[in-house]
Amino acid sequence: MKLPNLSGKKKNPKSMSQLTNKDELRELIYKHHGIVTLVCCELDCSFTQFYRAVHKWDLDEDLKKAKESFVSAAEATLYESLSSKSEGMRLKAADTILKYSKPQYK
């Protein structure tokens, strides 16, 4: 998944003040995989306004699940990259996996 370019992005005609129910906000959270910056850009709102709405409508768990699905997709992509025909791609994937999943010794 490629993150969209936010510069020059047309704002959604539905702003934060026009959200009428929590289902609309939940839909945007999952649409943007829990990436708060993208949701705020689409709604033309601040992080504070976003988190107030999330807490008001009890969407904290949905935000967490959306972010977890994003991480799962990234892990799947790394796993698939290990089988790439390109040796460079396989090495980058292996390096990334080892860098972030090596055991922490004390």
Whole-prediction pTM value?
0.66
Mind listing the pLDDT tens digit for each residue in 6-56? 555 555 545 676 777 889 999 999 999 999 999 999 888 999 999 999 999
The helices-and-strands tally (H runs, E runs) of the chain is 5, 0
From CA 94, how far away is CA 30, in angstroms rounded?
29
From CA 26, how far away is CA 60, in angstroms rounded?
10
Assess whether pLDDT exceeds 90 at residue 96: no
Q: What pLDDT is stored for residue 29 in this prediction?
A: 95
